[in-house]
């Protein structure tokens, strides 16, 4: 429609409305203010209509005030293109989502395979299989992660190999402390239980054996005896020819070291019987050992220079234990313990007192007991 500057309809598709006052429409008062725009409001029938308006120049020169050009349309018809666009957008979005799901299904196995490989690798490493490696290549994040994990596993394997080799020359517990940086030069006073063992008449035995036979015999013997010490968490201090020196309670604060030392001694006695049985089957003579146990306060720690150290125990108790072991020759026994050790183990082990015997180089001779067996429960 077209209205004059007063809002009266000058032209309309419905000729009957020409001359009608159009100011009742929402848009006309706004248009009479001289601005163009649009507004939604009730139409002549009361329905929601979309009105667009703008002022136009009047061709009348006498009264040049602008006229108003006004159009109206049903809101649904006006928004039909928007609804159509929305439907098309929804369909496009659904297609994109479906495509993404299809793509995800296709890509998921590609992503899942390397992740599963990494999980399997971690599981194998956790179970101690340090030879495990991840077979993933590439320059992406997964490939770089796999390379880093393989380097880590190689480092752990090398550390374990060093630890194993190191442990053949140094007691396992000591080597672990050294690798952790837990042992320093010097020592500390500690109450421990010492164990000395020795093969009886070994010099006479070795005279009839070739050097290679002596080495093989000692290796078999030491393997069994040292295992008995390790079973009770003892520390192998050193080999002294055909003898063994071990300590209990040096690297752990557990107070039951006399009991563990006694168990180790009995285990060594049992293993000796096994070795002699094997030698008897091979037509070889049996041999005997002596074991001495003594509980005392000694200095334990790294003794030596900064370039070469030995983790050992120093003190009068060490000498006493060596003399107690040698006393087995006089009594014809296998395991002798001193009174300080006996007091700690008497409730768990059968022991019998021995006659007084002077110990070489000792003015204060401890009372000795023979360790026989565990007490029956």
**pLDDT by residue (tens digit) across 116-163?**
777 787 888 777 777 777 777 667 777 777 777 777 877 777 777 765
Domains and CATH numbers, the chain: 2-75 (3.30.450.20), 187-374 (3.30.70.1230)
pLDDT computed for residue 319 by the predictor = 92
pLDDT at site 363: 72
Judge whether 1 and 9 are in contact, CB under 8 Å: yes
> What span, in angstroms and rounded, lies between the C-alpha atoms of 60 and 366?
141
pLDDT score of 155: 77
Which stretches in the chain have pLDDT values below 50? 166, 168-170
Q: For 236, what's the count of Cα atoms within 13 Å in the CB-facing half-sphere? A: 22
Joined tokens for residue 77: 């018809």
> C-alpha distances in angstroms, 72 versus 3, 120, 213, 269?
14, 71, 118, 114
* Residue 46 token pair: 């009361």
- Spatial separation of the C-alpha atoms in residues 286 and 276, rounded to whole Å: 5
């Amino acid at each position: 429609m077209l209205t004059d500057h007063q809002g009266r309809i000058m032209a309309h598709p419905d000729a009957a409305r020409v001359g009608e006052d159009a100011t009742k429409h929402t848009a006309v008062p706004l248009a009479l203010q001289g601005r163009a725009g649009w507004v939604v409001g009730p139409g002549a029938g009361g329905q929601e209509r979309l009105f667009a308006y703008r002022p136009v120049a009047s061709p009348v020169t006498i009264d040049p005030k602008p006229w108003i050009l006004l159009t109206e349309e049903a809101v649904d018809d006006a928004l039909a293109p928007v609804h159509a666009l929305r439907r098309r957008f929804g369909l496009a979005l659904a297609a994109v989502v479906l495509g993404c799901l299809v793509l995800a299904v296709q890509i998921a196995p590609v992503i899942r395979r390397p992740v599963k490989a990494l999980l399997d690798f971690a599981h194998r490493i956790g179970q101690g299989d340090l030879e495990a490696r991840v077979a993933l290549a590439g320059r992406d994040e997964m490939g770089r992660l796999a390379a880093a994990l393989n380097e880590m596993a190689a480092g752990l394997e090398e550390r374990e190999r060093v630890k194993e080799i190191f442990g053949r020359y140094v007691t396992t517990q000591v080597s672990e402390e050294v690798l952790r940086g837990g042992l320093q030069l010097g020592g500390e006073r500690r109450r421990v239980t010492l164990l000395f063992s020795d093969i009886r008449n070994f010099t006479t035995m070795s005279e009839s054996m070739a050097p290679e036979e002596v080495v093989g015999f000692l290796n078999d013997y030491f393997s069994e005896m040292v295992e008995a010490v390790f079973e009770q968490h003892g520390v192998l201090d050193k080999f002294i020819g055909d003898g063994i020196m071990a300590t209990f309670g040096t690297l752990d604060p557990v107070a039951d070291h006399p009991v563990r030392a006694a168990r180790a001694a009995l285990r060594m006695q049992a293993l000796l019987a096994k070795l002699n049985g094997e030698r008897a089957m091979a037509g070889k003579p049996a041999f005997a050992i002596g074991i001495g146990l003594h509980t005392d306060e000694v200095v334990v720690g790294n003794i030596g220079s900064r370039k070469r150290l030995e983790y050992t125990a120093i003190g009068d108790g060490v000498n006493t234990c060596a003399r107690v072991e040698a006393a087995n020759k006089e009594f014809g026994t296998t395991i002798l313990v001193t009174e300080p050790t006996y007091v700690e183990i008497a409730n768990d082990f059968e022991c019998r007192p021995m006659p007084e015997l002077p110990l070489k180089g000792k003015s204060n001779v401890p009372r000795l007991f023979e360790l026989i067996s565990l007490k029956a429960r």
